[in-house]
A and B are shown apart, each in its own frame.
Chain A
Amino acid sequence: MGRGYNTIAFDAAKCDGCGDCMTACATVKTGTDDKARSRIQIVGSESDGFELALCRQCGDPKCVTVCPAAALTKNYDTGVIEWNAAKCVDCLLCTIGCTYAGIALDAGVGHVAKCDMCYASPAGAPACVPACPHDALTYITTSRIYNEVGDWEDLFAPGLAGCQGCNTELLMRHTLRRVGPDTVLATPPGCVPGMGSVGFNGTTGTKIPVFHPLLTNTAAMLAGIKRQYKRVGREITALAIAGDGGASDVGFQSLSGAAERNEQILFMVVDNEGYMNTGMQRSSCTPYGAWTSTTPVGKGSGGMPAQGKTQDAKNLPLIMVNHRCEYVATASTAYMEDLYDKLDKAIQASKRGFAYLHVYSPCTTGWRFPTDQNMEVARKAVETNFVMLWEYTRATACTSRGRSMIRCRSRSI
């Protein structure tokens, strides 16, 4: 399996074009404060918004293939495309190959220059990222998870019948890799079995024992399974990957009962704010004002327009805290390291009692946003405090890691 690498992420919405990152880069790389010589280039304007030109450390780099002098090489350990001054013949062909302006002439020295992620620096991490005063730049080190876990067996069958852009497949594959084969998986009716977790017409979707519970009895069935294996002295993880509707509405009784009995279960709820698999109907996790197919928007009658759901979402994770579970946490696929950390804790907690993990999962189909925006929407949901990431243990109660919030500013379009 290929490797994942650390990367620098840029959030245009947070950038105000101050150029501090460029100054930091130029200082480290050229010993000057000449922003023009920075490897990271912020372009654009206040009115049009700011954009980024930076080497993407491509997996299949064109600059490397066009270089006649073999002066550019991809380092497959770090992912960085390295430039060798000794071999370079200054032909600039690489600047033709690269379509992202990731390698360009440093007029100060007359050679090309490109970002090397500051791997060789004492910090071993990019100087530009901490220099940004607005958190528009983030050093993403999530690849650690991919590299560590990527080689573990994928316990889902290849290919899923999910909607384009849905992040649930990511959750499913990563969670199972993490939990491992000594697991019994319950995927109650909803998007997850809709994607084929339990298979169709006599097939299976996973390499581990998997079943559809009823929408209503996931936690109860898992409790029975776990208890019997405990009785015969076998260690298994009883895992649910459930939707918010089943968990918060019709399956809530069995969920609450199992949590109160502190059954040794890891219960993951993928919250896409409604019954999306059946066509986007309202659930009690649907937030206030949201359009769903059963809380539509219309002109209404008697001068009272129908404006989506008229009640707030039920805060299911907080309700689970009130069961005094072994572990409760909320997470988001936009924050995979955080999610992974919490998943690890939840797995451990499920050996002692009830562990509950609530993952916010934007629904491209139901929320009607472009399919390439899932992570972005998930990230914005957290950054705007629309959802909050926190965890609960009996020892610490509820805690949340500080995270800088998005700055809202108007922008001409």
Chain B
Amino acid sequence: MTTATLDAPSQARPAKQKVILCEGNEAAALGVALARPDMVAVYPITPQSSLVEHVAKLIADGRMDADIVDAEGEHSVLSVLQGGALAGARTYTATCGPGLAFMFEPYFRTSGMRLPIVMTIVTRDGITPQSVWGGHQDAMTVREVGWVQVYCETVQEVLDTTVMAFKIAEHHDVMLPVNVCLDGNYLSYGTSRVELPEQAEVDAFMGVKDVNWHVALDPLRPMAVDPLTGGSGGKGPSSFVRYRKGQCRGMQNSLRVIEEVHQEWAQRFGRNFAPLVEEYRLDGADYAIMTLGSMTGAAKDAIDEARDAGKRVGLIKLKTFSPFPVEALLKSLRKVRALGVVDRSVGFRWNCGPMYQETMGALYRLARESGSILPSMSFIGGLAGADITVGHFHRVIEATEKLLTGSAPTEPVWLNEKD
């Protein structure tokens, strides 16, 4: 199963779950607590700060048994966790924007060392023009570094995905770090009803922790971690190449594992999230718009209204952005004849949204199999915290509809420019 629809019949519900009201940052913290990490390292940054405050409070209140390291910066935050993971700890942190930029050096290395660290990115725009508001620019900027990146749509999905992220990261076929991306402002501070799974149920779901079987700094099994490799030929570069290939294989494996873990989650907890690509009212649609993260809620409302108005439009939402779920996306793309892609960040090199740029690769695959090119266009909206409203999505739908008959513009459409 590569796609799911929210109106699919849900699984048999397990024991009744406690219902609480909380913001997305707290939901993430609660998800972390349920996953029982050994070590959390924190450094505050807007709009992530309340998340680490919640984590610290959970530990202080004895509701979470983890070593918390108040590091002196994000660079050290991730470095402390690397050390912890190499010593066998399940580890967690959260950051965004400038913090993510500052930790880039160890961030790069985490995936290289195949350390299953889970890190929330409470996505933020910026760095300049200076902005503390939401946007996907931070996470998009680091998309080529070998982390698995999944984007949440709702507060409930934040909690559930945070727990699932540990299981995905630590799967022996994956062994990669995972970013759970939640939209700064909209999800971080958005408060909604959340079902809280039972700890025992989550424990059963998580299974036995085993994070450093493949690489460890442990006097009981001494090894050199990450010796120098490379050179102009021979053993050095070839071992490097095999290593890189292994990382890419882990990324590809994660597509299957993300699906399996979501399936198991649905069975145990009754909440069924599309693991890779979600279709919304795509059946019978002539064209589709594509979204990522929390904007999808408004997009779905716009789709409903457009459908009511007789437009044959549907929606494709990515949950997993990295690795890019090409096969799953192709299944959805085959159903439509035009596509509009809405990004909350900028791809400077192609003068379009990064998700659109990635999707163009999938469209090429589609063109090869169908012999014709699916007309498509890029929309950029929601930068620096701007709201992408239902109204904006109607503009998106209208412009995309025109692709069925007219030619596709090469320039992106900038939403919020004249709001």
Contacts and interface: CB of A to CB of B under 8 A. Distances in A.
A binds B: yes
B228 A198 contact: yes
Nearest to B218: A209
A47 interface: no
22 contacts: A183-B219, A184-B218, A193-B228, A200-B228, A200-B229, A203-B227, A204-B223, A208-B222, A209-B217, A209-B218, A210-B224, A214-B105, A224-B41, A224-B79, A224-B89, A224-B91, A225-B83, A226-B83, A228-B39, A229-B87, A253-B75, A256-B72
A37 B294 CA distance: 97
Contacts, number: 158
Contacts of B239: 201-202
B211 to A, nearest CB: 10
A285 interface: no
Nearest to A189: B228
A198 B227 contact: yes
A234 to B, nearest CB: 8
A97 interface: no
B108 to A, nearest CB: 9
Contacts of A254: 72-73, 75-76, 79
A227 B106 CA distance: 19
Interface string B205-232: 0000000000011110111111111110
Given A209-B216, A217-B79, 10 more contacts: A201-B231, A205-B227, A208-B219, A209-B218, A210-B225, A211-B217, A214-B105, A220-B71, A225-B217, A258-B76
- Among B70, B76, B89, B236, the most chain A Cβ lie within 10 Å of the Cβ of B76
Contact of A225 (B41, B76, B84, B231): B84
A254 B81 CA distance: 13
B218 A223 contact: no
A254 B109 CA distance: 17
B168 interface: no
B226 A221 contact: no
Contact of B227 (A200, A214, A231, A257): A200
A228 B227 contact: no
A359 interface: no
Nearest to A257: B72
A238 to B, nearest CB: 8
Q: Which are the 4 A-B pairs with shortest beta-carbon distances?
A: A224-B83, A257-B72, A204-B224, A217-B79
A264 to B, nearest CB: 12
Interface string A166-196: 0000000000000001111000000001000
Nearest to A193: B228
Contacts of B221: 209
State the main secondary structure of chain A at its contact with B.
mixed
B317 to A, nearest CB: 36
B90 to A, nearest CB: 10
A261 interface: yes
A229 B236 CA distance: 33
A181 B221 CA distance: 11
B236 A201 contact: yes
A211 to B, nearest CB: 4
B162 interface: no
A227 B216 contact: no
Nearest to A227: B67
Nearest to B77: A220
A213 interface: yes
Contact of A211 (B39, B73, B85, B86): B86
Interface in B44-79: 67, 69-73, 75-77, 79
Given A200-B229, A225-B87, A214 B39 contact: no
Contacts of B230: 201
A130 interface: no
Contacts of A209: 216-219, 221-225
Interface string A127-171: 000000000000000000000000000000000000000000000
A232 B70 CA distance: 20
A236 interface: yes
A213 B81 CA distance: 12
A293 B55 CA distance: 48
B81 to A, nearest CB: 6
Contacts of B225: 198, 209-212
Contacts of B83: 220-228
B71 A228 contact: no
B258 interface: no
B82 interface: yes
A221 B223 CA distance: 16
Contacts of B85: 224
- Among A182, A256, A257, A260, the most chain B Cβ lie within 10 Å of the Cβ of A257
